[in-house]
Structure 1
Amino acid sequence: MDVSIIETSSLGDRSYLVTEADVAVVVDPQRDIDRVLALANDRGARITHVLETHIHNDYVTGGLELSRAVEAEYIVPAGDDVDYERRAVHDGDLIDAGPIRLRVMHTPGHTHHHVSYVLLDATGGTHGIFTGGSMLYGSTGRTDLVGPQYTEELTHAQFRSVRRIADEVPADTPVYPTHGFGSFCSATPTSGDSSTVGQQRDVNPALTRDEQAYVDELIAGLNTYPAYYAHMGVINRAGPSPLDLSAPEPVDPAELRRRIDAGEWVVDLRERTAFAAGHLGGTLGFELSTSFVTYLGWLYKWGAPLTLIGESDEQIADAKRELVRIGVDELAGAAVGEIHTLVNGHELRSYRVSDFAELTREIDSEQVRVLDVRQKDEYEDGHVRGAVNIPLHDLAERLDEVPRGEVWVHCASGYRASVAASMIDRIDRTVVLVNDDFEKAYDQGLIGTS
């Protein structure tokens, strides 16, 4: 029996394809199901069942479309109120896919109706457990996504669910979580790329702490999560529309400028230092990397016209694939080409790119101000002396709080800072992007207490 991982690193999630002989089962598929179909074809297997561990909050599921495309049985936890036909499964139910069998285990915590699936062969041997947002690698799924009024209740439930897995599933069983590889659905950072139930007994906080200590620590550690999450559950319960990956309409330089001047969302996908070296004034820089869709989805005004600028058609296609995973389906168009060909008579804007070593030499200047766009808890753990903290997700509403003068903007690695710099960059502002690892600030002696 083979378990293949389908990684979606930009969202910190995994989907799984289980194959045995010519039969396949899919767990928690992402919306771009072509990846799943291609893998099943490579394995020479027919997908007979598509399973969801829960109604997802961080991406639009591909489960409904996949099940319809291959005429597979679609399985969703009982209790989840959805607007489409599916098999609703309860604790203890057995899913029979011939040589592949899965036993349903109700593991509430991440959501009320969350389930895990114990992977069995035809003889009853255990080959793995798909834990969704329950037992993660060295952590557990966050418990505040359903609503703040349920957080404490669900945190206690999460503790008991992970304990139940550890008590009922053999220690050598591989654990296959959906979240925990950078996803904000994880309550705390995870560790490692693989694990077993037995290994989790030594490292998972739900298994190494008593119940109240676990609950207190998890709740105290919860921080903000992407704003687009508010739309995912709604889409997934209603049933996502069929996927459309067709190319957006081309936009010429004159129309591009009209959209920028009208205040529309025009997003430049180029690498952050290329954007800093020359960009159209009024555009936003969201480098197309593993952080792209999370932070664009976090800041994007849901439903607003969105136009992309890319260096190639392939870059635009990659960005669209990322966006449809979070339900941003309608693009207003795209402009493709070298940035100087898109100026339409306007001068390109630019700003400096630097690092913490140079900031060390400049920081005592009366003109220099430092803006830290990390989250509040990151700032409180240690920050550049004198830095003002405005988390990136709050910046649009707090631009008037950005200090005057020459603003050096940083985060933990440079990505969030690059987005912030593009938001601040205007004719009357001077911005410097600190494109550097925050650990270098410690090396330079920049960390202070105020």
Structure 2
Amino acid sequence: MPRVLSIDTPTLGDRSYLVHDGRVAFVVDPQRDIDRVLDLAAAEGVRITHVFETHIHNDYVTGGYALARATGAAYHVNADDPVTFDRVEVRDSDVVEVGDSMRVHVRATPGHTFTHLAYLLRDGGREVAAFTGGSLLHGSVGRPDLLGPAHTGALAHHQHASANRLAAELPDTAEVYPTHGFGSFCSATQSEAAASTVGQQKRDNPALTKPADRFVADLLAGLDAWPAYYAHMAPANSAGPGAPDLSTPERASAGQIRERVAGGEWVVDLRNRVAFAAGHVAGTLNVGLDGSFATYLGWLIPWGTPLTLLGETPRQITEAQRELARIGIDRPAAQATGDPDEWAGGQELATFPRASFAELAQVRRHRRVVVLDNRRDLEWAGGHIDGAVHIPLHDLPARRDEVPAGEVWIHCQAGYRAAIAASILAAAGRRVVAIDDEFDNAARAGLPVVAGA
């Protein structure tokens, strides 16, 4: 029986897979930092001979091309994908032999993209697993709107058909191994499931339990914004990206940090939101490593803007670099480690307060403040504080001037995004309070929560 090992990237909500028979291995949808794959193969004592891509990814830069070059493996990509590099073309119904017993059957599963493929693993004459990429996910499917509104409806119907094709062909015992769906914005909805089978999906997945028209209507109604950096991923992946340079960037002095801030560059403090609020270099932004760091930084930063990273330890800088390389931000302009007093070079640190929804309720009884909700549209529609201003975090840099005058109390669902928004407004000279609290506590605190229009 082949051994399937997942390589998780929880900050992007994706999984790659290494599958082996004890001697040779194949890899499905590897992330950009291929050292993780190489280390796992070495630990298992196997040689990588094949690399498979389910699709040209929109949410991360692939490591497939670099991994194939590093190992000499055959790199399998859909023959219809317009890539500019040499690959082994595969099409629907092709069969690829890996080792003595593993057979990989190629299936066209359009929906997430038009050229999406799934790979069915057969061992000893029976299908034991399906590597479904952005097609059939745990309890969902990959979102169909990433190629633009002109194609969304057609791709949504394709998703339904593709999921049902897989379910009809595979036995109920076959394991389902998707790439997306563990927090990725490429998934239409999120799942907490760590593993699943075709039989479980037949019972639980709307793509397999609802008729096509109902499924498509529900799917489209549940779609919300996706990160702006996605626009850069498919072109990068079509060009065959190389392995990232993860060497340490040059160190920035306190004077250089001030110059970079003054020059409009992005200087990002990687510390958690509590530490940042308590003291930071004026004008720096807070995108903490303790949340979806790469997703939100990649979503917000104007593409190509020089980036300086500030971390408490070299390990934080290294971790941030790895996260950023996965979305194509390869080389930060500079970095500095230590504490904010060092980075400020003797200048006074900036601060802003943190608060709870109970404190907001108390304040609103005595004076008028601006309440800024920076959650996404569907979150807002599910319920929001009456009288709040709604600007999703990803729109805030461009819509900053729409925030009314006065003291701004900023909230999201749990505090992470509010801290980012607070740092953006504070850097622009606004007086802010970051609400570091769960939104469910708003109604409990007596704040008027109403449903969206």
* Separation (CA, whole Å) in 2 of partners of 1:382 and 1:235: 38
* Separation (CA, whole Å) in 2 of partners of 1:385 and 1:220: 24
Q: Which moved more, 1:36-45 or 1:401-410?
A: 401-410
- 2:328 aligned with 1:327: yes
Partner of 2:396: 395
Partner of 2:110: 108
Query: Which residue identity does 1:254 align to in structure 2?
Result: G
Partner of 2:362: 361
Shift of 1:427: 7.7
Instruction: Pick closer, same or farther for the CA change 1:162–1:380 going to 2, 3 Å.
Output: same
Shift of 1:426: 4.6
* Separation (CA, whole Å) in 1 of partners of 2:366 and 2:409: 12
Per-residue displacement from partner, 1:313-341 (whole Å, max 9, x unpaired)?
Answer: 11101000000000001211001111111
Q: TM-score, normalised by structure 2?
A: 0.97
- 2:447 aligned with 1:433: no
Shift of 1:71: 0.3
Per-residue displacement from partner, 1:85-124 (whole Å, max 9, x unpaired)?
Answer: 1111111111101232210011000001101011111x21
* Separation (CA, whole Å) in 2 of partners of 1:268 and 1:412: 21
Q: Which moved more, 1:212-221 or 1:323-332?
A: 212-221
* Separation (CA, whole Å) in 1 of partners of 2:244 and 2:402: 41
Contact 1:77/1:88 (<8 A) preserved:
yes
Partner of 1:311: 312
* Separation (CA, whole Å) in 2 of partners of 1:133 and 1:449: 35
* Separation (CA, whole Å) in 1 of partners of 2:363 and 2:178: 46
Contact 2:65/2:242 (<8 A) preserved:
no
Shift of 1:47: 0.4
Contact 1:386/1:448 (<8 A) preserved:
no
Contact 1:74/1:86 (<8 A) preserved:
yes
Partner of 1:410: 411
* Separation (CA, whole Å) in 2 of partners of 1:447 and 1:327: 42
Partner of 2:421: 420
* Separation (CA, whole Å) in 2 of partners of 1:426 and 1:36: 40
Contact 1:9/1:290 (<8 A) preserved:
no
Contact 1:257/1:344 (<8 A) preserved:
no
* Separation (CA, whole Å) in 2 of partners of 1:40 and 1:365: 63
Shift of 1:263: 1.3
Per-residue displacement from partner, 1:65-101 (whole Å, max 9, x unpaired)?
Answer: 0001010000011211101111111111111012322
Equivalent position SS for 1:396: helix
* Separation (CA, whole Å) in 1 of partners of 2:260 and 2:45: 48
* Separation (CA, whole Å) in 2 of partners of 1:386 and 1:131: 44
Contact 1:17/1:25 (<8 A) preserved:
yes
Shift of 1:431: 0.8
Shift of 1:443: 2.5
Query: Which residue identity does 1:126 align to in structure 2?
Result: E
Shift of 1:364: 2.6
Instruction: Pick closer, same or farther for the CA change 1:278–1:168 going to 2, 3 Å.
Output: same
Q: Which moved more, 1:178-187 or 1:216-225?
A: 216-225
Partner of 1:166: 167
Shift of 1:175: 0.3
Shift of 1:200: 0.6
* Separation (CA, whole Å) in 2 of partners of 1:380 and 1:427: 28
Query: Which residue identity does 2:53 align to in structure 1?
Result: E
Partner of 2:295: 294
How many percent of aligned residue pairs carry the same amino acid?
53
- 2:120 aligned with 1:118: yes
Q: Which moved more, 1:209-218 or 1:320-329?
A: 209-218
Per-residue displacement from partner, 1:155-176 (whole Å, max 9, x unpaired)?
Answer: 1111000000111100111100
Correspondences of 1:162-241 after superposition (within 5 Å): 162-241=163-242
Contact 2:4/2:18 (<8 A) preserved:
yes
* Separation (CA, whole Å) in 1 of partners of 2:323 and 2:134: 21
Equivalent position SS for 2:39: helix
Q: Which moved more, 1:395-404 or 1:22-31?
A: 395-404
Shift of 1:202: 1.2
Partner of 1:351: 352
Per-residue displacement from partner, 1:332-386 (whole Å, max 9, x unpaired)?
Answer: 1001111111112421100111111222222233232211000111111101222
Shift of 1:428: 4.7
Contact 1:10/1:289 (<8 A) preserved:
no
Per-residue displacement from partner, 1:247-293 (whole Å, max 9, x unpaired)?
Answer: 01111101110111111111110111100000111111000124100
* Separation (CA, whole Å) in 2 of partners of 1:293 and 1:427: 23
Contact 1:108/1:154 (<8 A) preserved:
yes
Measured on the aligned residues, the alpha-carbon RMSD in Å equals 1.2
* Separation (CA, whole Å) in 1 of partners of 2:43 and 2:423: 43
Shift of 1:439: 1.5
Q: TM-score, normalised by structure 1?
A: 0.98
Contact 1:363/1:369 (<8 A) preserved:
no
Equivalent position SS for 1:167: helix
Matched residue count: 449
Partner of 2:81: 80
* Separation (CA, whole Å) in 2 of partners of 1:95 and 1:449: 55
* Separation (CA, whole Å) in 1 of partners of 2:448 and 2:214: 31
Partner of 1:12: 13
* Separation (CA, whole Å) in 2 of partners of 1:215 and 1:447: 34
Q: Which moved more, 1:29-38 or 1:200-209?
A: 200-209
* Separation (CA, whole Å) in 2 of partners of 1:232 and 1:427: 30
Equivalent position SS for 1:116: strand
Segments of structure 2 that go 5 or more residues without pairing to the other structure are: none
- 2:42 aligned with 1:41: yes
Contact 2:285/2:427 (<8 A) preserved:
no
Equivalent position SS for 1:69: helix
Equivalent position SS for 2:131: strand
Q: Which moved more, 1:188-197 or 1:279-288?
A: 188-197
